[in-house]
Amino acid sequence: SGALPWSPDRVEQAQHTLLRLGLIESDTPVHPPRPQKLEDDHPPAYTTQDINQAMASDSGFAGLVPAVEQLLGKTL
């Protein structure tokens, strides 16, 4: 629970669909946890070295870079 960043309305719609399809049997409401506010609202500041290291050591991150560059229309 809480793995998807969905609103409570979207979770309820998904639950209703699963009930209608007979994929779940309970109509107990599902309530995702409320997002917790971080102490520091500012995004982290990453250095070029941080990004290069993540690209070299984490294939998942490296795979995201081209998609983000295309979305932003610039090279990271």
What does the domain layout of the chain look like in residue ranges? 1-33, 46-76
Model pLDDT, residue 30: 63
Dump pLDDT digits (tens) for 1-55. Answer: 456 788 888 888 888 888 888 888 776 666 666 777 777 777 788 888 988 888 8
Q: Which residue has the higher pLDDT, 74 or 62?
A: 74
And the tokens for 40? 């520091």
Model pLDDT, residue 63: 82
Handedness of CA 10, 16, 22, 25 (dihedral sign): positive
Rounded to 5°, the CA angle 52-4-50 comes to 10
H helices within the chain, ranges in order? 8-20, 48-57, 59-72
pTM of the model: 0.36
CA–CA distance, 12 with 30 (Å, rounded to integer): 7
